[in-house]
Structure 1
Protein backbone atom coordinates (compact mmCIF):
# COMPACT_ATOMS: atom_id res chain seq x y z
CA UNK A 1 0.00 0.00 0.00
CA UNK A 2 2.79 2.37 0.93
CA UNK A 3 4.60 1.58 -2.34
CA UNK A 4 1.40 2.25 -4.36
CA UNK A 5 0.91 5.62 -2.67
CA UNK A 6 4.50 6.61 -3.49
CA UNK A 7 3.97 5.71 -7.17
CA UNK A 8 0.76 7.74 -7.34
CA UNK A 9 2.52 10.72 -5.77
CA UNK A 10 5.35 10.50 -8.34
CA UNK A 11 2.79 10.38 -11.18
CA UNK A 12 1.09 13.52 -9.87
CA UNK A 13 4.44 15.34 -9.63
CA UNK A 14 5.37 14.28 -13.19
CA UNK A 15 1.98 15.42 -14.50
CA UNK A 16 2.35 18.85 -12.85
CA UNK A 17 5.89 19.17 -14.20
CA UNK A 18 4.74 18.24 -17.72
CA UNK A 19 1.92 20.76 -17.53
CA UNK A 20 4.39 23.48 -16.54
CA UNK A 21 6.76 22.62 -19.40
CA UNK A 22 4.05 22.12 -22.05
CA UNK A 23 3.64 25.83 -22.94
CA UNK A 24 7.41 26.09 -23.31
CA UNK A 25 7.54 23.13 -25.69
CA UNK A 26 4.67 24.51 -27.74
CA UNK A 27 6.40 27.87 -28.04
CA UNK A 28 9.61 26.15 -29.10
CA UNK A 29 7.78 24.14 -31.75
CA UNK A 30 6.12 27.30 -33.07
CA UNK A 31 9.51 29.03 -33.31
CA UNK A 32 10.94 26.04 -35.19
CA UNK A 33 7.94 26.03 -37.55
CA UNK A 34 8.43 29.73 -38.30
CA UNK A 35 12.16 29.19 -38.82
CA UNK A 36 11.66 26.30 -41.25
CA UNK A 37 8.89 27.95 -43.26
CA UNK A 38 10.50 31.40 -43.42
CA UNK A 39 12.63 30.64 -46.56
CA UNK A 40 9.59 29.31 -48.43
CA UNK A 41 7.45 32.28 -47.39
CA UNK A 42 10.22 34.67 -48.45
CA UNK A 43 10.54 32.91 -51.81
CA UNK A 44 6.79 33.13 -52.40
CA UNK A 45 6.75 36.80 -51.49
CA UNK A 46 9.60 37.60 -53.88
CA UNK A 47 8.55 35.41 -56.82
CA UNK A 48 4.74 35.55 -56.59
CA UNK A 49 3.34 38.18 -54.23
CA UNK A 50 5.56 41.07 -55.32
CA UNK A 51 5.05 40.54 -59.09
CA UNK A 52 1.28 40.24 -58.61
CA UNK A 53 1.13 43.44 -56.59
CA UNK A 54 3.34 45.16 -59.17
CA UNK A 55 0.97 44.11 -61.97
CA UNK A 56 -2.06 45.39 -60.04
CA UNK A 57 -0.25 48.68 -59.33
CA UNK A 58 0.90 49.27 -62.90
CA UNK A 59 -2.45 48.42 -64.48
CA UNK A 60 -3.72 51.82 -63.31
CA UNK A 61 -0.59 53.74 -64.32
CA UNK A 62 1.03 54.84 -67.57
CA UNK A 63 4.19 52.76 -68.02
CA UNK A 64 6.27 52.58 -71.19
CA UNK A 65 9.48 50.58 -71.53
CA UNK A 66 11.20 52.94 -74.02
CA UNK A 67 9.73 56.29 -73.03
CA UNK A 68 10.24 57.04 -69.32
CA UNK A 69 8.38 60.35 -69.66
CA UNK A 70 5.14 58.41 -70.12
CA UNK A 71 4.15 57.96 -66.50
CA UNK A 72 1.51 58.91 -63.99
CA UNK A 73 -1.88 57.73 -62.82
CA UNK A 74 -3.98 56.30 -65.67
CA UNK A 75 -7.14 55.28 -63.87
CA UNK A 76 -9.16 53.06 -66.22
CA UNK A 77 -7.45 54.24 -69.43
CA UNK A 78 -5.38 51.08 -69.74
CA UNK A 79 -8.50 48.94 -69.47
CA UNK A 80 -10.21 51.08 -72.10
CA UNK A 81 -7.19 50.64 -74.36
CA UNK A 82 -7.52 46.86 -74.08
CA UNK A 83 -11.29 46.70 -74.50
CA UNK A 84 -11.27 49.05 -77.50
CA UNK A 85 -8.51 47.11 -79.22
CA UNK A 86 -9.82 45.43 -82.39
CA UNK A 87 -7.77 42.34 -81.59
CA UNK A 88 -9.26 41.85 -78.11
CA UNK A 89 -12.49 40.03 -79.00
CA UNK A 90 -10.83 37.72 -81.57
CA UNK A 91 -8.11 36.90 -79.04
CA UNK A 92 -10.74 36.27 -76.36
CA UNK A 93 -12.63 33.96 -78.72
CA UNK A 94 -9.42 32.10 -79.62
CA UNK A 95 -8.57 31.74 -75.93
CA UNK A 96 -11.97 30.22 -75.18
CA UNK A 97 -11.77 27.82 -78.13
CA UNK A 98 -8.18 26.85 -77.31
CA UNK A 99 -9.00 26.27 -73.65
CA UNK A 100 -12.30 24.43 -74.09
CA UNK A 101 -11.12 22.09 -76.85
CA UNK A 102 -7.79 21.40 -75.14
CA UNK A 103 -9.28 20.56 -71.74
CA UNK A 104 -12.12 18.50 -73.23
CA UNK A 105 -9.78 16.54 -75.49
CA UNK A 106 -7.23 15.98 -72.73
CA UNK A 107 -9.87 14.70 -70.33
CA UNK A 108 -11.55 12.34 -72.80
CA UNK A 109 -8.26 10.93 -74.06
CA UNK A 110 -6.81 10.77 -70.55
CA UNK A 111 -9.85 8.95 -69.17
CA UNK A 112 -9.92 6.49 -72.07
CA UNK A 113 -6.23 5.67 -71.71
CA UNK A 114 -6.54 5.42 -67.91
CA UNK A 115 -9.41 2.92 -68.26
CA UNK A 116 -7.33 0.91 -70.74
CA UNK A 117 -4.25 0.90 -68.51
CA UNK A 118 -6.32 -0.08 -65.48
CA UNK A 119 -7.07 -3.44 -67.10
CA UNK A 120 -4.81 -6.42 -66.54
CA UNK A 121 -3.31 -6.69 -70.02
CA UNK A 122 0.13 -7.97 -71.07
CA UNK A 123 2.79 -5.28 -71.04
CA UNK A 124 0.72 -2.94 -68.89
CA UNK A 125 3.78 -1.73 -66.97
CA UNK A 126 5.60 -0.78 -70.20
CA UNK A 127 2.60 1.15 -71.51
CA UNK A 128 2.24 2.96 -68.17
CA UNK A 129 5.87 4.04 -68.38
CA UNK A 130 5.66 5.17 -72.02
CA UNK A 131 2.40 7.08 -71.68
CA UNK A 132 4.09 9.82 -69.64
CA UNK A 133 6.75 10.57 -72.29
CA UNK A 134 4.84 13.34 -74.16
CA UNK A 135 4.17 15.21 -70.93
CA UNK A 136 7.81 15.27 -69.79
CA UNK A 137 9.09 16.58 -73.12
CA UNK A 138 9.88 20.32 -72.82
CA UNK A 139 7.31 22.53 -74.52
CA UNK A 140 9.90 24.16 -76.79
CA UNK A 141 11.20 20.79 -77.97
CA UNK A 142 7.69 19.43 -78.54
CA UNK A 143 6.54 22.58 -80.35
CA UNK A 144 9.53 22.76 -82.69
CA UNK A 145 9.38 19.03 -83.44
CA UNK A 146 5.71 19.18 -84.36
CA UNK A 147 6.30 22.31 -86.43
CA UNK A 148 8.89 20.44 -88.48
CA UNK A 149 6.63 17.40 -88.82
CA UNK A 150 3.74 19.58 -90.05
CA UNK A 151 5.61 21.63 -92.67
CA UNK A 152 4.22 21.15 -96.20
CA UNK A 153 7.70 20.95 -97.78
CA UNK A 154 9.34 18.13 -95.79
CA UNK A 155 6.93 17.27 -92.95
CA UNK A 156 6.59 13.56 -92.34
CA UNK A 157 2.91 13.82 -91.39
CA UNK A 158 1.99 15.43 -94.70
CA UNK A 159 3.98 12.73 -96.49
CA UNK A 160 2.13 9.95 -94.65
CA UNK A 161 -1.29 11.53 -95.25
CA UNK A 162 -0.57 11.85 -98.97
CA UNK A 163 0.70 8.27 -99.15
CA UNK A 164 -2.44 7.01 -97.41
CA UNK A 165 -4.66 8.97 -99.77
CA UNK A 166 -6.23 11.05 -97.01
CA UNK A 167 -5.12 14.33 -98.61
CA UNK A 168 -4.15 15.01 -102.23
CA UNK A 169 -1.28 17.38 -101.55
CA UNK A 170 0.65 18.65 -98.51
CA UNK A 171 -1.20 21.18 -96.37
CA UNK A 172 0.32 24.09 -94.44
CA UNK A 173 -1.44 23.17 -91.21
CA UNK A 174 0.19 26.00 -89.26
CA UNK A 175 0.17 28.45 -92.14
CA UNK A 176 -3.56 28.70 -92.80
CA UNK A 177 -5.93 30.77 -90.62
CA UNK A 178 -8.58 28.04 -90.81
CA UNK A 179 -6.35 25.27 -89.43
CA UNK A 180 -3.61 26.92 -87.32
CA UNK A 181 -5.46 27.17 -84.00
CA UNK A 182 -6.99 23.69 -84.22
CA UNK A 183 -3.65 22.15 -85.16
CA UNK A 184 -1.90 23.70 -82.17
CA UNK A 185 -4.81 22.56 -79.98
CA UNK A 186 -4.42 18.95 -81.15
CA UNK A 187 -0.70 19.05 -80.45
CA UNK A 188 -1.38 20.48 -77.00
CA UNK A 189 -3.86 17.64 -76.32
CA UNK A 190 -1.21 15.12 -77.35
CA UNK A 191 1.29 16.62 -74.96
CA UNK A 192 -0.99 17.17 -71.94
CA UNK A 193 -3.31 14.16 -71.79
CA UNK A 194 -0.73 11.88 -70.04
CA UNK A 195 -1.07 14.02 -66.90
CA UNK A 196 -4.79 13.19 -66.89
CA UNK A 197 -3.98 9.54 -67.53
CA UNK A 198 -1.68 9.15 -64.53
CA UNK A 199 -3.99 11.09 -62.19
CA UNK A 200 -7.18 9.29 -63.26
CA UNK A 201 -5.41 5.93 -63.21
CA UNK A 202 -4.52 6.48 -59.56
CA UNK A 203 -8.16 7.37 -58.82
CA UNK A 204 -9.44 4.30 -60.69
CA UNK A 205 -7.21 2.00 -58.67
CA UNK A 206 -8.84 3.32 -55.49
CA UNK A 207 -12.32 2.22 -56.63
CA UNK A 208 -13.29 -0.91 -54.61
CA UNK A 209 -13.32 -3.94 -56.90
CA UNK A 210 -16.08 -5.51 -54.79
CA UNK A 211 -18.54 -2.85 -55.97
CA UNK A 212 -17.99 -3.78 -59.61
CA UNK A 213 -18.25 -7.47 -58.85
CA UNK A 214 -21.48 -7.02 -56.91
CA UNK A 215 -22.95 -4.83 -59.66
CA UNK A 216 -21.99 -7.38 -62.31
CA UNK A 217 -23.69 -10.13 -60.32
CA UNK A 218 -26.83 -7.95 -60.17
CA UNK A 219 -26.81 -7.69 -63.95
CA UNK A 220 -25.34 -4.20 -64.42
CA UNK A 221 -23.53 -3.78 -67.73
CA UNK A 222 -20.18 -2.12 -68.34
CA UNK A 223 -21.64 1.30 -69.11
CA UNK A 224 -23.95 1.15 -66.11
CA UNK A 225 -21.08 0.25 -63.77
CA UNK A 226 -18.99 3.05 -65.25
CA UNK A 227 -21.74 5.62 -64.77
CA UNK A 228 -22.92 4.54 -61.32
CA UNK A 229 -19.70 3.33 -59.69
CA UNK A 230 -16.62 4.61 -61.49
CA UNK A 231 -17.59 8.20 -62.25
CA UNK A 232 -18.76 9.10 -58.70
CA UNK A 233 -15.46 7.80 -57.29
CA UNK A 234 -13.30 9.84 -59.68
CA UNK A 235 -15.49 12.97 -59.70
CA UNK A 236 -13.33 14.91 -57.23
CA UNK A 237 -10.12 14.12 -59.08
CA UNK A 238 -11.77 14.95 -62.41
CA UNK A 239 -13.05 18.34 -61.24
CA UNK A 240 -9.67 19.22 -59.78
CA UNK A 241 -7.85 18.26 -62.98
CA UNK A 242 -10.27 20.22 -65.14
CA UNK A 243 -10.04 23.31 -62.93
CA UNK A 244 -6.24 23.26 -62.89
CA UNK A 245 -5.97 22.72 -66.63
CA UNK A 246 -8.51 25.40 -67.48
CA UNK A 247 -6.22 27.87 -65.71
CA UNK A 248 -2.99 26.41 -67.09
CA UNK A 249 -4.30 26.29 -70.66
CA UNK A 250 -5.91 29.74 -70.66
CA UNK A 251 -2.67 31.40 -69.53
CA UNK A 252 -0.41 29.24 -71.69
CA UNK A 253 1.91 31.36 -73.81
CA UNK A 254 4.94 29.37 -74.85
CA UNK A 255 3.27 26.53 -76.74
CA UNK A 256 1.37 28.75 -79.19
CA UNK A 257 4.27 31.18 -79.47
CA UNK A 258 6.74 28.43 -80.39
CA UNK A 259 4.49 26.96 -83.08
CA UNK A 260 2.70 29.96 -84.66
CA UNK A 261 3.54 33.15 -82.71
CA UNK A 262 -0.18 33.87 -82.82
CA UNK A 263 -0.38 33.73 -86.61
CA UNK A 264 -1.10 33.55 -89.40
CA UNK A 265 -3.00 36.85 -89.48
CA UNK A 266 -3.57 36.56 -85.70
CA UNK A 267 -5.67 33.43 -86.29
CA UNK A 268 -4.14 31.70 -83.25
CA UNK A 269 -3.53 34.79 -81.10
CA UNK A 270 -4.75 34.32 -77.54
CA UNK A 271 -4.85 36.71 -74.61
CA UNK A 272 -1.38 35.73 -73.28
CA UNK A 273 0.05 36.39 -76.76
CA UNK A 274 -1.72 39.75 -76.73
CA UNK A 275 -0.17 40.57 -73.33
CA UNK A 276 3.27 39.80 -74.76
CA UNK A 277 2.66 42.03 -77.77
CA UNK A 278 1.57 44.91 -75.55
CA UNK A 279 4.60 44.64 -73.28
CA UNK A 280 7.44 43.52 -75.57
CA UNK A 281 6.45 44.87 -79.00
CA UNK A 282 4.38 47.97 -78.26
CA UNK A 283 6.19 48.58 -74.93
CA UNK A 284 2.87 49.52 -73.29
CA UNK A 285 3.34 47.86 -69.91
CA UNK A 286 0.24 49.53 -68.47
CA UNK A 287 -2.06 47.93 -71.06
CA UNK A 288 -0.29 44.59 -70.64
CA UNK A 289 -0.80 44.72 -66.86
CA UNK A 290 -4.43 45.73 -67.34
CA UNK A 291 -5.12 42.69 -69.54
CA UNK A 292 -3.16 40.45 -67.16
CA UNK A 293 -5.23 41.76 -64.24
CA UNK A 294 -8.43 41.02 -66.11
CA UNK A 295 -7.31 37.45 -66.75
CA UNK A 296 -6.16 37.06 -63.16
CA UNK A 297 -9.53 38.23 -61.85
CA UNK A 298 -11.37 35.84 -64.14
CA UNK A 299 -9.23 32.88 -63.05
CA UNK A 300 -9.70 33.78 -59.38
CA UNK A 301 -13.47 33.90 -59.87
CA UNK A 302 -13.39 30.40 -61.36
CA UNK A 303 -11.50 29.12 -58.32
CA UNK A 304 -13.92 30.79 -55.88
CA UNK A 305 -16.99 29.47 -57.70
CA UNK A 306 -15.58 25.93 -57.73
CA UNK A 307 -14.60 26.17 -54.06
CA UNK A 308 -17.99 27.36 -52.84
CA UNK A 309 -19.81 24.89 -55.11
CA UNK A 310 -17.74 22.08 -53.59
CA UNK A 311 -18.59 23.33 -50.08
CA UNK A 312 -22.29 23.44 -50.96
CA UNK A 313 -22.16 19.81 -52.17
CA UNK A 314 -20.31 18.67 -49.05
CA UNK A 315 -22.64 16.98 -46.53
CA UNK A 316 -23.09 18.85 -43.25
Structure 2
Protein backbone atom coordinates (compact mmCIF):
# COMPACT_ATOMS: atom_id res chain seq x y z
CA UNK A 1 0.00 0.00 0.00
CA UNK A 2 1.23 3.49 -0.83
CA UNK A 3 0.72 6.33 1.67
CA UNK A 4 -2.80 7.67 1.13
CA UNK A 5 -1.79 11.31 1.56
CA UNK A 6 1.04 10.96 -0.96
CA UNK A 7 -1.27 9.31 -3.49
CA UNK A 8 -3.92 11.99 -2.96
CA UNK A 9 -1.37 14.73 -3.58
CA UNK A 10 -0.09 13.01 -6.71
CA UNK A 11 -3.61 12.55 -8.06
CA UNK A 12 -4.21 16.25 -7.42
CA UNK A 13 -1.26 17.16 -9.66
CA UNK A 14 1.61 17.34 -7.15
CA UNK A 15 4.69 16.43 -9.22
CA UNK A 16 6.95 15.94 -6.21
CA UNK A 17 4.48 13.51 -4.66
CA UNK A 18 4.29 11.57 -7.92
CA UNK A 19 8.07 11.34 -8.19
CA UNK A 20 8.30 10.09 -4.63
CA UNK A 21 5.79 7.36 -5.46
CA UNK A 22 7.09 6.35 -8.86
CA UNK A 23 10.85 6.88 -8.77
CA UNK A 24 11.39 4.06 -6.28
CA UNK A 25 10.28 1.68 -9.05
CA UNK A 26 12.38 3.18 -11.85
CA UNK A 27 15.35 0.82 -11.57
CA UNK A 28 13.29 -2.38 -11.51
CA UNK A 29 11.23 -1.09 -14.44
CA UNK A 30 14.48 -0.45 -16.32
CA UNK A 31 15.54 -4.06 -15.75
CA UNK A 32 12.09 -5.26 -16.85
CA UNK A 33 12.17 -3.22 -20.04
CA UNK A 34 15.71 -4.38 -20.77
CA UNK A 35 14.65 -8.02 -20.51
CA UNK A 36 11.79 -7.36 -22.91
CA UNK A 37 13.78 -5.31 -25.42
CA UNK A 38 17.36 -6.57 -25.11
CA UNK A 39 18.63 -3.02 -25.49
CA UNK A 40 19.56 -0.69 -22.64
CA UNK A 41 18.98 2.36 -24.83
CA UNK A 42 15.49 1.15 -25.82
CA UNK A 43 14.75 0.23 -22.19
CA UNK A 44 15.59 3.75 -21.02
CA UNK A 45 13.25 5.19 -23.66
CA UNK A 46 10.48 2.81 -22.57
CA UNK A 47 10.90 3.77 -18.91
CA UNK A 48 10.72 7.45 -19.79
CA UNK A 49 7.51 6.82 -21.73
CA UNK A 50 6.16 4.79 -18.81
CA UNK A 51 6.78 7.57 -16.29
CA UNK A 52 5.19 10.15 -18.56
CA UNK A 53 2.13 7.96 -19.15
CA UNK A 54 1.86 7.24 -15.41
CA UNK A 55 2.03 10.95 -14.56
CA UNK A 56 -0.65 11.69 -17.12
CA UNK A 57 -2.85 8.86 -15.81
CA UNK A 58 -2.24 9.06 -12.05
CA UNK A 59 -5.46 10.99 -11.57
CA UNK A 60 -7.45 7.91 -12.52
CA UNK A 61 -5.37 5.39 -10.60
CA UNK A 62 -6.97 3.54 -7.70
CA UNK A 63 -5.46 0.79 -5.56
CA UNK A 64 -8.80 -0.98 -5.53
CA UNK A 65 -7.93 -2.37 -8.97
CA UNK A 66 -4.18 -2.99 -8.63
CA UNK A 67 -1.15 -1.91 -6.64
CA UNK A 68 0.91 1.03 -7.89
CA UNK A 69 3.75 -1.35 -8.77
CA UNK A 70 1.46 -3.61 -10.79
CA UNK A 71 -0.03 -0.58 -12.54
CA UNK A 72 3.43 0.71 -13.48
CA UNK A 73 4.42 -2.73 -14.77
CA UNK A 74 1.29 -2.80 -16.91
CA UNK A 75 2.19 0.52 -18.51
CA UNK A 76 5.84 -0.46 -18.99
CA UNK A 77 5.00 -3.86 -20.44
CA UNK A 78 2.65 -2.43 -23.01
CA UNK A 79 5.15 0.27 -24.01
CA UNK A 80 7.70 -2.50 -24.55
CA UNK A 81 5.24 -4.59 -26.53
CA UNK A 82 4.71 -1.65 -28.88
CA UNK A 83 8.48 -1.35 -29.32
CA UNK A 84 8.87 -5.10 -29.89
CA UNK A 85 6.26 -5.02 -32.62
CA UNK A 86 7.91 -2.14 -34.45
CA UNK A 87 9.39 -3.56 -37.65
CA UNK A 88 12.12 -0.90 -37.60
CA UNK A 89 13.83 -2.69 -34.70
CA UNK A 90 14.75 -5.60 -36.92
CA UNK A 91 17.43 -4.61 -39.43
CA UNK A 92 16.89 -6.06 -42.89
CA UNK A 93 20.54 -5.85 -43.99
CA UNK A 94 21.76 -8.85 -45.96
CA UNK A 95 25.36 -9.99 -45.54
CA UNK A 96 27.51 -11.58 -48.24
CA UNK A 97 29.45 -14.18 -46.25
CA UNK A 98 31.86 -14.76 -49.17
CA UNK A 99 33.53 -11.41 -48.40
CA UNK A 100 35.14 -12.83 -45.24
CA UNK A 101 38.52 -14.49 -45.07
CA UNK A 102 38.63 -17.96 -43.52
CA UNK A 103 37.42 -18.88 -41.06
CA UNK A 104 34.08 -17.70 -42.42
CA UNK A 105 31.67 -16.58 -39.66
CA UNK A 106 28.45 -18.42 -38.92
CA UNK A 107 25.06 -16.67 -39.32
CA UNK A 108 23.29 -16.30 -35.97
CA UNK A 109 19.59 -15.97 -35.18
CA UNK A 110 20.10 -13.51 -32.33
CA UNK A 111 18.85 -9.93 -32.14
CA UNK A 112 21.20 -7.46 -33.78
CA UNK A 113 20.19 -4.78 -31.26
CA UNK A 114 21.32 -6.80 -28.22
CA UNK A 115 23.26 -4.70 -25.69
CA UNK A 116 24.92 -5.47 -22.33
CA UNK A 117 23.42 -4.38 -19.01
CA UNK A 118 25.68 -2.96 -16.26
CA UNK A 119 25.62 -4.88 -12.98
CA UNK A 120 25.80 -1.52 -11.19
CA UNK A 121 22.26 -0.81 -12.47
CA UNK A 122 20.99 -3.96 -10.76
CA UNK A 123 21.73 -2.70 -7.26
CA UNK A 124 18.43 -2.16 -5.50
CA UNK A 125 16.60 -2.66 -8.79
CA UNK A 126 14.66 -5.84 -8.18
CA UNK A 127 12.01 -6.43 -5.53
CA UNK A 128 11.61 -9.92 -4.08
CA UNK A 129 10.02 -11.98 -6.88
CA UNK A 130 6.56 -13.39 -6.27
CA UNK A 131 6.06 -17.00 -5.12
CA UNK A 132 5.40 -18.23 -8.66
CA UNK A 133 8.78 -17.10 -10.05
CA UNK A 134 10.77 -19.96 -11.61
CA UNK A 135 14.06 -18.26 -12.50
CA UNK A 136 16.85 -17.12 -10.22
CA UNK A 137 17.45 -13.41 -10.65
CA UNK A 138 21.04 -14.00 -11.82
CA UNK A 139 19.88 -16.37 -14.55
CA UNK A 140 17.05 -14.04 -15.58
CA UNK A 141 19.46 -11.21 -16.42
CA UNK A 142 22.13 -13.33 -18.12
CA UNK A 143 23.05 -12.41 -21.67
CA UNK A 144 22.00 -15.83 -22.99
CA UNK A 145 18.55 -15.60 -21.37
CA UNK A 146 17.92 -12.05 -22.60
CA UNK A 147 19.08 -13.03 -26.10
CA UNK A 148 16.73 -16.03 -26.08
CA UNK A 149 13.81 -13.83 -25.08
CA UNK A 150 14.32 -11.67 -28.17
CA UNK A 151 13.49 -14.66 -30.38
CA UNK A 152 10.04 -15.17 -28.83
CA UNK A 153 6.86 -13.48 -30.07
CA UNK A 154 6.14 -10.24 -28.14
CA UNK A 155 3.28 -11.53 -25.99
CA UNK A 156 5.18 -14.68 -25.03
CA UNK A 157 8.10 -12.50 -23.91
CA UNK A 158 5.83 -10.41 -21.69
CA UNK A 159 4.08 -13.43 -20.18
CA UNK A 160 7.20 -15.45 -19.37
CA UNK A 161 8.90 -12.44 -17.74
CA UNK A 162 5.85 -11.42 -15.71
CA UNK A 163 5.05 -14.97 -14.63
CA UNK A 164 8.35 -16.85 -14.39
CA UNK A 165 10.80 -14.05 -13.62
CA UNK A 166 8.71 -11.64 -11.55
CA UNK A 167 6.22 -14.15 -10.18
CA UNK A 168 2.98 -12.29 -10.87
CA UNK A 169 -0.15 -14.46 -10.74
CA UNK A 170 -1.82 -15.44 -14.01
CA UNK A 171 -4.84 -13.26 -13.25
CA UNK A 172 -2.59 -10.24 -12.64
CA UNK A 173 -0.78 -10.81 -15.92
CA UNK A 174 -4.08 -11.17 -17.76
CA UNK A 175 -5.14 -7.82 -16.34
CA UNK A 176 -1.88 -6.17 -17.41
CA UNK A 177 -2.20 -7.44 -20.97
CA UNK A 178 -5.99 -7.15 -21.23
CA UNK A 179 -6.34 -10.82 -22.20
CA UNK A 180 -7.90 -13.90 -20.61
CA UNK A 181 -6.16 -16.12 -18.08
CA UNK A 182 -6.35 -19.02 -20.53
CA UNK A 183 -4.55 -16.87 -23.11
CA UNK A 184 -1.81 -16.13 -20.58
CA UNK A 185 -1.42 -19.81 -19.73
CA UNK A 186 -1.27 -20.79 -23.39
CA UNK A 187 1.39 -18.18 -24.19
CA UNK A 188 3.38 -19.21 -21.13
CA UNK A 189 3.35 -22.87 -22.13
CA UNK A 190 4.70 -22.05 -25.61
CA UNK A 191 7.35 -19.67 -24.24
CA UNK A 192 8.58 -22.20 -21.68
CA UNK A 193 8.87 -24.87 -24.37
CA UNK A 194 10.91 -22.59 -26.63
CA UNK A 195 13.26 -21.55 -23.85
CA UNK A 196 13.68 -25.13 -22.66
CA UNK A 197 14.67 -26.28 -26.17
CA UNK A 198 17.45 -23.69 -26.24
CA UNK A 199 18.64 -24.67 -22.77
CA UNK A 200 18.69 -28.37 -23.69
CA UNK A 201 20.60 -27.59 -26.89
CA UNK A 202 23.27 -25.83 -24.82
CA UNK A 203 23.50 -28.83 -22.50
CA UNK A 204 26.09 -27.36 -20.13
CA UNK A 205 26.62 -27.28 -16.41
CA UNK A 206 25.87 -23.97 -14.66
CA UNK A 207 28.44 -21.16 -14.39
CA UNK A 208 30.50 -20.66 -11.24
CA UNK A 209 28.96 -18.39 -8.63
CA UNK A 210 29.53 -14.70 -9.33
CA UNK A 211 32.56 -13.43 -7.45
CA UNK A 212 33.59 -16.92 -6.34
CA UNK A 213 37.23 -18.09 -6.39
CA UNK A 214 36.30 -20.43 -9.27
CA UNK A 215 35.01 -17.56 -11.39
CA UNK A 216 37.92 -15.32 -10.48
CA UNK A 217 40.39 -18.02 -11.51
CA UNK A 218 38.91 -18.42 -15.00
CA UNK A 219 38.67 -14.66 -15.50
CA UNK A 220 42.29 -14.15 -14.43
CA UNK A 221 43.51 -16.86 -16.81
CA UNK A 222 41.54 -15.32 -19.67
CA UNK A 223 42.77 -11.76 -19.02
CA UNK A 224 46.39 -12.84 -18.76
CA UNK A 225 46.20 -14.91 -21.95
CA UNK A 226 44.33 -12.23 -23.89
CA UNK A 227 46.69 -9.40 -22.95
CA UNK A 228 49.73 -11.52 -23.82
CA UNK A 229 48.14 -12.84 -27.05
CA UNK A 230 48.71 -16.40 -25.84
CA UNK A 231 46.44 -18.23 -28.27
CA UNK A 232 47.13 -21.70 -26.85
CA UNK A 233 46.19 -20.60 -23.33
CA UNK A 234 43.02 -18.96 -24.64
CA UNK A 235 41.94 -22.00 -26.65
CA UNK A 236 42.46 -24.23 -23.60
CA UNK A 237 39.76 -22.23 -21.78
CA UNK A 238 37.09 -22.75 -24.47
CA UNK A 239 34.35 -25.35 -24.75
CA UNK A 240 34.20 -27.31 -28.00
CA UNK A 241 31.04 -25.47 -29.07
CA UNK A 242 32.12 -21.99 -27.97
CA UNK A 243 30.58 -19.05 -29.84
CA UNK A 244 32.16 -15.65 -30.39
CA UNK A 245 29.36 -13.15 -31.15
CA UNK A 246 29.71 -9.58 -32.38
CA UNK A 247 26.44 -7.61 -32.16
CA UNK A 248 25.12 -5.79 -34.14
CA UNK A 249 26.48 -8.16 -36.82
CA UNK A 250 24.09 -11.16 -37.09
CA UNK A 251 26.93 -13.66 -37.23
CA UNK A 252 29.94 -14.86 -35.29
CA UNK A 253 32.45 -17.68 -35.02
CA UNK A 254 31.20 -21.04 -33.77
CA UNK A 255 33.37 -23.84 -32.45
CA UNK A 256 36.82 -23.84 -30.89
CA UNK A 257 38.64 -24.15 -34.21
CA UNK A 258 36.81 -21.25 -35.88
CA UNK A 259 37.21 -18.95 -32.87
CA UNK A 260 40.90 -19.83 -32.60
CA UNK A 261 41.37 -19.07 -36.30
CA UNK A 262 39.69 -15.69 -35.96
CA UNK A 263 41.77 -14.74 -32.93
CA UNK A 264 44.96 -15.97 -34.58
CA UNK A 265 44.36 -13.61 -37.49
CA UNK A 266 43.81 -10.71 -35.06
CA UNK A 267 46.98 -11.45 -33.14
CA UNK A 268 49.01 -12.02 -36.33
CA UNK A 269 48.09 -8.50 -37.41
CA UNK A 270 49.91 -7.24 -34.32
CA UNK A 271 46.84 -6.11 -32.43
CA UNK A 272 47.37 -6.16 -28.67
CA UNK A 273 44.92 -5.11 -26.00
CA UNK A 274 44.75 -4.09 -22.36
CA UNK A 275 41.63 -5.12 -20.45
CA UNK A 276 39.77 -3.25 -17.70
CA UNK A 277 37.47 -5.58 -15.73
CA UNK A 278 33.83 -4.86 -14.91
CA UNK A 279 30.57 -6.84 -14.89
CA UNK A 280 27.59 -7.02 -17.24
CA UNK A 281 24.44 -9.14 -17.02
CA UNK A 282 25.80 -10.77 -13.88
CA UNK A 283 28.81 -11.99 -15.87
CA UNK A 284 32.51 -11.09 -16.10
CA UNK A 285 33.18 -8.35 -18.64
CA UNK A 286 36.02 -6.17 -19.87
CA UNK A 287 36.60 -2.89 -21.61
CA UNK A 288 39.26 -3.52 -24.27
CA UNK A 289 41.83 -0.89 -25.22
CA UNK A 290 44.11 -1.15 -28.24
CA UNK A 291 47.76 -0.61 -27.46
CA UNK A 292 49.71 1.86 -29.55
CA UNK A 293 53.51 1.94 -30.00
CA UNK A 294 53.43 5.17 -28.07
CA UNK A 295 50.65 7.35 -26.76
CA UNK A 296 47.04 6.95 -25.74
CA UNK A 297 45.31 3.54 -25.72
CA UNK A 298 41.92 3.86 -27.38
CA UNK A 299 38.78 1.84 -26.67
CA UNK A 300 38.35 -1.02 -29.12
CA UNK A 301 35.37 -2.91 -27.75
CA UNK A 302 33.59 -4.42 -24.79
CA UNK A 303 33.68 -8.15 -24.02
CA UNK A 304 31.28 -10.25 -21.94
CA UNK A 305 32.21 -13.82 -20.99
CA UNK A 306 29.68 -16.62 -20.56
CA UNK A 307 31.14 -19.31 -18.32
CA UNK A 308 30.17 -22.94 -17.78
CA UNK A 309 32.00 -24.93 -15.15
CA UNK A 310 35.65 -23.96 -15.55
CA UNK A 311 35.43 -23.02 -19.23
CA UNK A 312 34.24 -20.22 -21.51
CA UNK A 313 31.06 -21.13 -23.42
CA UNK A 314 30.67 -17.81 -25.24
CA UNK A 315 32.30 -14.44 -25.66
CA UNK A 316 30.28 -11.49 -26.90
CA UNK A 317 31.99 -8.43 -28.28
CA UNK A 318 30.07 -5.16 -28.23
CA UNK A 319 31.05 -1.85 -29.75
CA UNK A 320 33.06 0.59 -27.63
CA UNK A 321 30.11 3.00 -27.50
CA UNK A 322 28.71 1.02 -24.52
CA UNK A 323 31.74 1.75 -22.32
CA UNK A 324 30.29 4.90 -20.64
CA UNK A 325 27.40 2.83 -19.22
CA UNK A 326 30.04 0.95 -17.22
CA UNK A 327 31.94 4.02 -16.08
CA UNK A 328 34.80 3.20 -18.44
CA UNK A 329 36.65 5.88 -20.45
CA UNK A 330 37.04 5.98 -24.21
CA UNK A 331 40.81 6.02 -23.83
CA UNK A 332 43.56 5.20 -21.34
CA UNK A 333 46.79 7.13 -20.79
CA UNK A 334 50.08 5.72 -22.14
CA UNK A 335 51.52 2.83 -20.13
Fold similarity call, TM over 0.5: no
Q: Which has the higher contact order (CA 8 A, sep 6+)?
A: 1
More helix by share: 1
**TM-score normalized with structure 2 length:** 0.21
TM-score between the two structures when normalised by the length of structure 1: 0.22
- Between structure 1 and structure 2, the one with the greater Rg is 1
